[in-house]
Amino acid sequence: MDKEKKIKEIQAEYEAADMGMLPSFIEEYVADGRPGVSKLITQAQKKMEKLRLERERLEKMRVYERKYERDFLHICGIDEAGRGPLAGPVCAAAVILPKDCEILYLNDSKKLSEARREALFQEIMEKADAVGIGMASPEAIDEVNILQATYLAMKDALAQLEIPPDILLNDAVTIPGVGTRQVPIIKGDAKSVSIAAASIVAKVTRDRLMREYDAIMPEYGFAKHKGYGTREHIEAIRQYGPSPIHRRTFLQNL
pLDDT tens digits along 123-161: 999 999 999 999 999 999 999 999 999 999 999 999 999
| pLDDT, mean of residues 42-50 | 94
Averaged pLDDT of the chain: 96
CB 175 within 8 A of CB 182: yes
pLDDT tens digit string along 193-243? Answer: 999 999 999 999 999 999 999 999 999 999 999 999 999 999 999 999 999
Q: What is the pLDDT of residue 234?
A: 97
Q: What is the pLDDT of residue 253?
A: 80
- Taken in order of first residue, the domains within the chain and their CATH numbers are 7-60 (no CATH), 73-249 (3.30.420.10)
pLDDT tens digit string along 63-111? Answer: 999 999 999 999 999 999 999 999 999 999 999 999 999 999 999 999 9
